[in-house]
Structure 1
Amino acid sequence: MKSLFLIYFLVIQICESAVGNPQLEWWQTTIIYQVYPRSFKDSDGDGTGDLRGIISKLDHFVYLGVQAIWLSPFYKSPNKDFGYDISNHTDVDPLFGDLEDFAVLINQAHKRDIKVIIDFVPNHTSDLHPWFQASIKKQEPYTDFYVWSESKPGPDGTRLPPNNWLSLFGGSAWKWNQDRQQFYYHAFLEEQPDLNYRNPKVIEEIKNVLRFWMNRGVDGVRCDAVLYLLESEDLSNNEPKSNAANFTSFQHESLDHIYTSHLPEIKQIITGWKTITKEYTQKDGKTRFMVIEAYETPEKRQAFVEYGADFAFNFDLITPIGITRDCGGVCIKDLVDTEYTVVSSDSWPNFQFGNHDRPRISVRRNPEAANAFNMLLLTLKGTPTTYYGEEIGMEEIHVSFEDTQDPFGLRFGKERYTEVSRDPCRSPLQWNDGYHSGFTTAKKPWLPVHPNYKTLNIQTQMESDHSPIQLYSQLARLRQEPSFQYGDLNYAVVNDNIFSYVRQTEGQPQYLVTINFGKSKSVDDYTSYIQGREGKVIAHTGNLNNKPFYKQNIIIDLSQIILKSDQGLVIEIISTKDEL
């Protein structure tokens, strides 16, 4: 791929360094769609989604224009943390099917030119994993497969953990094991003991897991929780207080994790994984993709590209501040610009609004803004990642404490569970207006279907004149145009309401994308940013029911575009050369 570079003058441009079409990898040209298997489609009537359910709905991705799906964990697991506590890394949990089902999924996806990315969970295992059970008994070679420590003496003969490290789910990150008479470290739940990456045998075993799935045809991996792969060798080190506001001493955020997060030795581990993906790419010429999950600052996130990852997920639109109800045009531009400013010449930008761990955009903003945000996501330069349901503007469900499934929420108790529970964003995908929205034939799904499914569902939107899913599909195909694939992105009008930009590459049409993210009507002149005074409406958010009525394919004056809140347009510019 020809290198990218940043040019600054009045506006920021992201340009290709050479004339002609750059050779992009598949992961740079497609949308990545996150499938949460247990909530996608149930094929056997047990109330939980499964692999055969995904297979039955692969044509949904064809309709959308999505060419890569990322599957959250489907491995054998006690499901204390919904599959992120793995008891067998190389098998499918019976809840989701079996290895034969996975083979069919790969085959059918590839027939549709859909790449399959899997969740690779290297940091920890289930406490029921054979490795951990053998480690408890000090059976070789597993004795030191996990992070074990002697206790410190406490008052009245009690045993204390070696330090003050905290779990991401709250409370001590150390658990006493009576059989082994030692504490073990768990960055997440106590049922998720951390592997010891200072043991070369652990590193090799996890590489074998990666090879196992590459041999079965996966096209890429999303590497989970890599920030926590290594801890300080000196387990007597206590982490200092972070002094972060509004967090109790029970919460992970109350400490500054200088001994348990993003230690420099992580580089060698990730580089080792990249070596394996390259081996498979060299075997058949098919690029294998590796993306990192890391809630980090943009500068630290960039380090993972240097380690060998294709990119680390960009969470700037989600956290630490992300998109809020008050985030207008300037705010959105600043969040987007962070990614473009930090990416190096040999890296690639990416964006997303949500995932299985964070509130949906419909909650952080409002349900009516779904089209505006999908228009933004699918027209920016870089790879977009969509969380299932965003294509129809799905909203979050309310789950009582008694019905809560998420262990994170349960640990915080009835008074505070809503602050952290991830159940609301994980409700079943709404397929139609039938029984349980077509998700399952079971009496009760694993989580409730949102009560608005009668009107907000995939089938109804596909059959309507203009809907979020139709706009999504239209934009997915539009972004295959050269101007959107690899063209420049130049900022245009940006104010408290409007965020707009121009997409163009040499010899191709010029497009203006303008969206009102503010709270009031905005009337703006765009002619100083483009090569023309008129343009043709290519796509719109569908809520343009006020004068002027911007409709598909009409020609509009670019010197006075009027947009209200959550309204947006994609306009193909009629250049002054065309007018002559």
Structure 2
Amino acid sequence: MNANGTPDRQWWKEAVVYQIYPRSFNDSDGDGVGDLPGITQKVGYLDDLGVDVVWLCPVYGSPNADNGYDISDYRSIADEFGTMADWEALRSELHAHDMRLLMDLVVNHTSDEHEWFQRSRRREAGYEDYYYWRDGGVDANGDPVPPNNWESFMGGSAWTYDDAREQWYLHLFDEKQPDLNWRNPDVRDEIASLVEWWLEKGIDGFRIDAINYISKPEGLPDGTADREPKGIEVFSHGPRIHDYLRELYERTFANYDVMTVAEMADTTVEMAENYLGEDGDGLNMIFHFEHMGVDISPRGRFDPSEWGEWSLPEFKRIMSRWQTDLDAEGWNATYLGNHDQPRIVSRFGDDEAYRTESAKLLATFLLTTRGTPFVYQGEEIGMTNDDFPELSALDDPMTVGAIEDLFEAGRADSYAELREFVNYVSRDHARTPMQWADAASAGFTTGEPWFAPNENYPDINVAAARADEESVWHYYRRLIDLRHEEDVLVYGEYDLLLPEDEQLYVYRRALGDETVLVVLNWSNRPATVDAGVVDGTPLAILQSNYDDSPADPAGQQFRPYEAVVYRL
């Protein structure tokens, strides 16, 4: 809010963002892989849904060791997705429909097939230290051992020995994703140049990948904490990260009217304040991961000793802290799922008895809390987790690497022991093809899909959802319209009620004379709102996921996963 109490209006605060995983969205040419022309074909669909911004996961040149997050050429389009002309056509079509385009910026690492890495491994002048190269030690057999004990997010050591250079290189992700050395000013110049290049091509901002890992401490010391991966407390939020991000902002983002959202795992509200706004590093918002940890082990996502159980009061504490504790420059990026997470209705709802009701409740939460909401493809029709019956059914290198590490550590003897756990945590759930119709390959492709669609596509698909006015899709559409119409849902203050209630998530949004009350029964059992909770008389129901929700919530019983938005 401004000093006079009026909202600090920004287009990116008022926007609803729709995330697209291009490989799995829509295939236009029948080769089984989603592509840019396929996305362009669906711009009208996105316009009908009402979204304002499309975030495109990487479509750059890449050998696809990590589905495009290993970039070999930042200024090209991967052949499987189309051409630069196809990308330009998509950008223009989105802009013609008054939608903006957000690209993925992946600059913690490149592909090992990038020209910079190839030159660096050959020790070409000027490229010697574009990456982290180190000598290691030797074991009792005289074999080389890594420079430190850091582990990769993909499993195993974060170091790989390169025979050509005869040194180890650092990769916090896959071995084909070597980490860039941001200490080198030439590297920072290269990154600023490519950011400027894309901004000049007319994009409207970036989602910035894994950016809290770009600054490593001097000496690269061993990790000591009992967390996975080993070393994360050392290489996350390193000593010069604020210098690097502020420099990038001043050289690029500050000169354009763009939106920036940075992916930053392992970040608290207090830390976030230092990254956001003009008083920080200039970022508009970040993706924090605190709420993504409510149902997994504190030692790491792929620790099978603790998973699947979560507490609504704890979830409320986390989300409310982010809603209320960011300073005046702060702004939330609100999400429940993305390309790296399981399907939200399977994780936070009930994908069987109350799939439709719980999908609508999740939409209500997403679109009525403070911050810019991010909707991941398929959420708007209530897509669910799949079942991966064997290891060979998985594609995600992070999940596969974690399983192999569990085998090596003797924590499991077979995939069968881990199947239920993997079916809960795998990133592959978000990457099954978009379910467009009750047709071959879910209407995603006329060919053989790169990844098998979820078998429930005959029942859960866009065509069926759009034909049913009471579907999850139409509920999303109406909620997006409501958010566009009601400033209180964008800029209003947030006030949590009933913080310890294990079924009800109830909060108010208030802006000037406008007050909205949101009541969510986040459970599969009836729950009653105490008569004294509501301070004010409901004037109208603005949105609800049951036809006959109570006109006044005080003292009323709410059905499983019932969600109601009231104007007070």
- After alignment, is 496-505 or 27-36 more displaced? 496-505
* Aligned position for 1:284: none
* Aligned position for 1:119: 104
Separation in 1, partners of 2:338, 2:498: 30
* Aligned position for 1:302: 273
Establish whether residue 516 from structure 1 lines up as the match of residue 521 from structure 2.
yes
Establish whether residue 502 from structure 1 lines up as the match of residue 508 from structure 2.
yes
Separation in 2, partners of 1:186, 1:484: 42
The structure 2 residue matched to 1:562, chosen from 552, 557, 565, is 557
Alpha-carbon shift at residue 193 of structure 1 (Å): 0.9
- After alignment, is 124-133 or 323-332 more displaced? 323-332
Separation in 1, partners of 2:426, 2:308: 21
The structure 2 residue matched to 1:477, chosen from 473, 478, 481, is 481
Alpha-carbon shift at residue 377 of structure 1 (Å): 0.7
Q: Is the 8 A contact 2:36 2:87 kept in 1?
A: yes
Establish whether residue 239 from structure 1 lines up as the match of residue 228 from structure 2.
no
Separation in 1, partners of 2:361, 2:133: 50
Alpha-carbon shift at residue 94 of structure 1 (Å): 0.5
* Aligned position for 1:86: 71
Alpha-carbon shift at residue 228 of structure 1 (Å): 1.6
Question: 1:309-348 to 2 correspondence within 5 Å?
Answer: 309-321=283-295, 327=310, 330-348=313-331
Alpha-carbon shift at residue 115 of structure 1 (Å): 1.1
Sort the Cα spacing of 1:19 and 1:184 in 2 relative to 1 into closer, same or farther, 3 A. Answer: closer
Establish whether residue 487 from structure 1 lines up as the match of residue 458 from structure 2.
no
* Aligned position for 1:12: none
* Aligned position for 1:46: 31
Deviations 1:288-333 (CA, angstroms, capped at 9, x unpaired): 1111101123222333212221111133332254899765653443
Q: Is the 8 A contact 2:526 2:558 kept in 1?
A: yes
Alpha-carbon shift at residue 493 of structure 1 (Å): 4.8
Separation in 1, partners of 2:76, 2:87: 10
Separation in 2, partners of 1:340, 1:259: 28
* Aligned position for 1:423: 428
Question: 1:66-465 to 2 correspondence within 5 Å?
Answer: 66-235=51-220, 237-240=221-224, 242-244=225-227, 252-253=228-229, 255-281=230-256, 287-298=257-268, 299-305=270-276, 306-321=280-295, 327=310, 330-365=313-348, 366-367=350-351, 368=355, 369-399=358-388, 400-411=390-401, 412-413=403-404, 415=415, 416=418, 419=422, 421-442=426-447, 444-465=448-469
Separation in 2, partners of 1:276, 1:61: 33
Q: Is the 8 A contact 1:214 1:280 kept in 2?
A: no
Alpha-carbon shift at residue 350 of structure 1 (Å): 2.9
Sort the Cα spacing of 1:307 and 1:275 in 2 relative to 1 into closer, same or farther, 3 A. Answer: same
Deviations 1:224-246 (CA, angstroms, capped at 9, x unpaired): 111221223314x3221x234xx
The structure 2 residue matched to 1:539, chosen from 543, 547, 551, is 543
Alpha-carbon shift at residue 556 of structure 1 (Å): 2.1
The structure 1 residue matched to 2:12, chosen from 27, 38, 56, is 27
Separation in 2, partners of 1:129, 1:278: 25
Separation in 2, partners of 1:448, 1:310: 37
- The runs of 5 or more residues in structure 2 that have no matched partner are 298-306, 405-413
Deviations 1:189-208 (CA, angstroms, capped at 9, x unpaired): 11111111111101100111
Alpha-carbon shift at residue 167 of structure 1 (Å): 1.1
Separation in 2, partners of 1:73, 1:393: 24
Q: Which amino acid aligns with 1:186?
A: H
Q: Which amino acid aligns with 2:4?
A: A
* Aligned position for 1:18: 4
Deviations 1:61-106 (CA, angstroms, capped at 9, x unpaired): 2122210111111110000100011110111000111111111111
Separation in 1, partners of 2:432, 2:271: 33
Separation in 1, partners of 2:495, 2:122: 61
Alpha-carbon shift at residue 489 of structure 1 (Å): 2.5
Alpha-carbon shift at residue 214 of structure 1 (Å): 0.5
Rg larger for:
1
Q: Which amino acid aligns with 2:368?
A: T
Separation in 1, partners of 2:296, 2:379: 17
Sort the Cα spacing of 1:526 and 1:314 in 2 relative to 1 into closer, same or farther, 3 A. Answer: farther
Q: Is the 8 A contact 1:67 1:113 kept in 2?
A: yes
Deviations 1:361-394 (CA, angstroms, capped at 9, x unpaired): 2222322211111111101121111111111110
Alpha-carbon shift at residue 568 of structure 1 (Å): 1.0
Q: Partner of 2:566: helix, strand, or coil?
A: strand
Separation in 2, partners of 1:558, 1:159: 67
Sort the Cα spacing of 1:129 and 1:297 in 2 relative to 1 into closer, same or farther, 3 A. Answer: closer
Separation in 2, partners of 1:156, 1:455: 59
Q: TM-score, normalised by structure 1?
A: 0.87
Q: Which amino acid aligns with 1:24?
A: R
Q: Which amino acid aligns with 1:144?
A: D
* Aligned position for 1:572: 567
Q: Which amino acid aligns with 1:474?
A: R
Separation in 2, partners of 1:257, 1:295: 10
Separation in 1, partners of 2:494, 2:325: 15
Q: Which amino acid aligns with 1:392?
A: I
Q: Which amino acid aligns with 1:561?
A: Q
* Aligned position for 1:7: none
Q: TM-score, normalised by structure 2?
A: 0.88
Q: Is the 8 A contact 1:434 1:454 kept in 2?
A: yes
Sort the Cα spacing of 1:569 and 1:326 in 2 relative to 1 into closer, same or farther, 3 A. Answer: farther
Alpha-carbon shift at residue 527 of structure 1 (Å): 6.3
* Aligned position for 1:247: none
Sort the Cα spacing of 1:525 and 1:239 in 2 relative to 1 into closer, same or farther, 3 A. Answer: closer
